[in-house]
Chains A and B, each alone.
Chain A
Amino acid sequence: MSQQTPVAEDPGQGTVPPAPRRDPRLLSVITGPSGWWSAIKRNLRSGELGAAPVVIGLILIAIVFQSLNDRFLSPQNLSNLTVQIAAIGLMTTGVIMVLLLGEIDLSIGSVAGLSAGILGVTVMRHGFPEWAGILTALGVGLLVGLVHGVIFARIGVPAFVVTLAGLLGWQGLHLFLMAPDGTINTRSDGLIAALTQTYFVAWIGWAIVALTLLLYAGTVLTAERRRRSAGLPYKPLSEVLLRAGLLALALVVGVWILNQHKGVSLAFLIFVGAVVVLDLVLRKTRYGRMVYAVGGNAEAARRAGINVVLIRISVFGIASTLAAMGGIMLVSRNIAASTTTGGGSELMMAIAAAVIGGTSLFGGRGNAYSALLGGLVLGAITSGLLLLPNVDTSVRFMITAAVLLVAVILDAVSRRGRKTHARGGA
């Protein structure tokens, strides 16, 4: 193997001579497009797959379903897809937080159902204004998560068991609340319905693209300038522009397609917004660093003075709040809360989406964008199968299972690659 990752010399032996800032042993000195190409090749070979498998998977899915039914890539279908994935996507975002800790939350489906039930009961039976019902549902979600977190982190019951109890218990409470009706229809013209029925006119979509690109370019360029003036290795301007260009391409194409139909949907914007906010929190704040640290090595985190218990409780709180948001989206799409809301395949789909998106089940590795990528993959499969005649849920489950297995196998193989290439195996 001629190209190795930047591993230092023989472990533990020999003195390390003083060296210049740009270490000669470091191969990943990126100079121009050929440098990027070799860096990409080296990363792939050493198991740093990044988003590549998911993106390739999405392209394959698009090709297959488009050839089976040419309505798959139509703006209308893609626009519907963005609304369909929002609810489970929000739940996935919460699951990712918990997976980063190296734990699991089995209760998110039930919590979504409970929040849907509370929304229906408070608004339609007790006459709460819709915004108050939404806040109540979110508040209950947060409370449920904090209860899980306290029982797990303070008392020390394994998260698997706590949330398994939650899976049963909150579904029971949900059924109890909905008891006489079974289904509570909500108004089709209020705030709740607007969550998934609002589409923005074209110029707002473009404004969002422009704003995003401006913020992205601004922060990246400022950061690279600071790195440069601090004498640190920095990305050359050409690379920054290439990345910004790729982002711009994705955003422009996406918004252009959505504008062909009704425009960017509020539901999708809420989902993507949650993903972006979570990503920034995880990568840029002290809180996010603590979450990764606890997921990587809880004992080390504790010794570094991190309040591990508080971090764990807060993560479970956030996860359940996001699950409650997912439940509200489900109500909004069905314009009804029913006893079956959140009790179906939502939990499995949310966990599968997180894993397909590239978040490790073993903690400490993964990012918020897994929710978007994994959600798109599963949403695309669901949507594509719905367009085919004579295909029902059974096929969808089997195909989803196959995709999940492929994702996990890819993860296992790439983990082996990372071990042999000393990138950290966890």
Chain B
Amino acid sequence: MSTPVLELSGISKTFGAVRALDEVDFHVDEGEVVALLGDNGAGKSTLVKVIAGAHTADVGGGIAWDGDDVTIATPADAQRLGIATIYQDLALCDNLDIVGNLFLGSERLHFPGTLDEVEMERRSWELLDSLSVSIPDLRVPVASLSGGQRQIIAIARSLLGRPRVVMLDEPTAALGVAQTAQVLDLIERLRDQGLGVVLISHNMADVRAVADRASVLRLGRNAGDFSVADTSYEEIVAAITGASDNPVSRRSTRAGQEPLATEDQR
């Protein structure tokens, strides 16, 4: 088996008295979509932020890129390696126009160090055309766009840096049916181009539609790594909730009289 693009081993992260991540292992291969699953508070967002450089992990764990040990201390480190992250809040600057947001932090310059607006706008059109996105005017402030358009701008922006790993935090949560399908198509296109995609989603339908592998976190620990194609919906849900006996499987088997077994897992 080839070396994963990104491999984390034994990553911990403590916030005060709270251990958000406890010895977590995680890896992404080229050309695969990994769904990062877990209930609220399982540590998904913390793990993503550690990978993206927004948080630094506690001493002890290791991060390997193409098999080489690296440290990711700042978002710039992550970007330099080729990790792009799209957070749920999209992190767009409402006062800047679309081109300004797409190239924020990686502006193209030309002769005496000035911004090359023409080149940036041309590449923005190319990029959005290649994603079959139509926005009338790239020079309007991002504040004037709809939620779906903002999501697309945020995803498009991550592609400009030619990343090798793209992390999407709940990319379809705020989208309508058709735009969700568009985003899922986009994720498949990224995989086909050989990118590693990390998909954080609560939507199991989305996960089953595009993910190759599901990595489950529970209360800050690894709770299983499944091939989506070979695993049933119930098995994944069981890993997320921490018990084979959980409200979801009870519903599907109509067994639901026993007391909850999920509460005493701490």
Contacts and interface: CB of A to CB of B under 8 A. Distances in A.
B91 A303 contact: yes
B136 A11 contact: no
Nearest to B181: A15
Nearest to B104: A304
A297 B105 contact: no
B93 A21 contact: no
Contact of B75 (A6, A9, A305, A424): A305
Contacts of B136: 6, 8, 23, 25-26
B122 interface: yes
Given A12-B175, A232-B122, A297 B92 contact: yes
B23 interface: no
Interface in A1-56: 5-19, 21, 23, 25-26, 28
Given A292-B96, A304-B75, A426-B94, A18 B132 contact: yes
A143 interface: no
Contact of A424 (B76, B143, B149): B143
B93 A293 contact: yes
B113 A285 contact: yes
B81 interface: no
B140 interface: yes
Given A18-B134, A25-B136, A422-B143, A295 B95 contact: yes
Contact of A289 (B100, B143, B144): B100
A423 B118 contact: no
A426 B95 contact: yes
Contacts of A232: 118, 121-122, 125
B179 A289 contact: no
Interface string B144-180: 1111110000000000000000000000001110110
A284 B107 contact: no
A187 interface: no
B204 interface: no
B141 A304 contact: no
A284 B91 contact: no
Nearest to A307: B76
A305 B93 contact: no
B34 interface: no
Contacts of B229: none
Nearest to B144: A422
Given A6-B137, A227-B118, A299 B95 contact: no
A231 to B, nearest CB: 7
Interface string B172-196: 0011101100100000000000000
Contacts of B144: 5, 7, 422-424
A300 interface: yes
A306 B107 CA distance: 11
Interface residues of A, number: 50
A423 B176 contact: no
Contacts of A13: 148, 176, 178-179
B94 A296 contact: yes
A292 B93 contact: yes
B228 to A, nearest CB: 26
Nearest to A231: B122
B106 to A, nearest CB: 8
Nearest to A28: B137
A364 interface: yes
Nearest to A20: B134
Contacts of B85: 303
Contact of A23 (B76, B134, B149): B134
Interface of A: 5-19, 21, 23, 25-26, 28, 223, 226-227, 230-232, 284-286, 289, 292-293, 295-297, 299-306, 364-365, 422-426
Given A15-B179, A424-B95, 4 more contacts: A12-B148, A15-B178, A23-B137, A424-B142
29 contacts: A8-B136, A8-B149, A9-B146, A11-B147, A12-B146, A12-B179, A13-B148, A13-B176, A15-B179, A18-B129, A26-B137, A230-B118, A231-B125, A289-B96, A289-B104, A293-B96, A293-B100, A300-B91, A302-B75, A303-B91, A306-B104, A364-B95, A422-B144, A423-B140, A423-B143, A424-B94, A424-B143, A425-B143, A426-B143
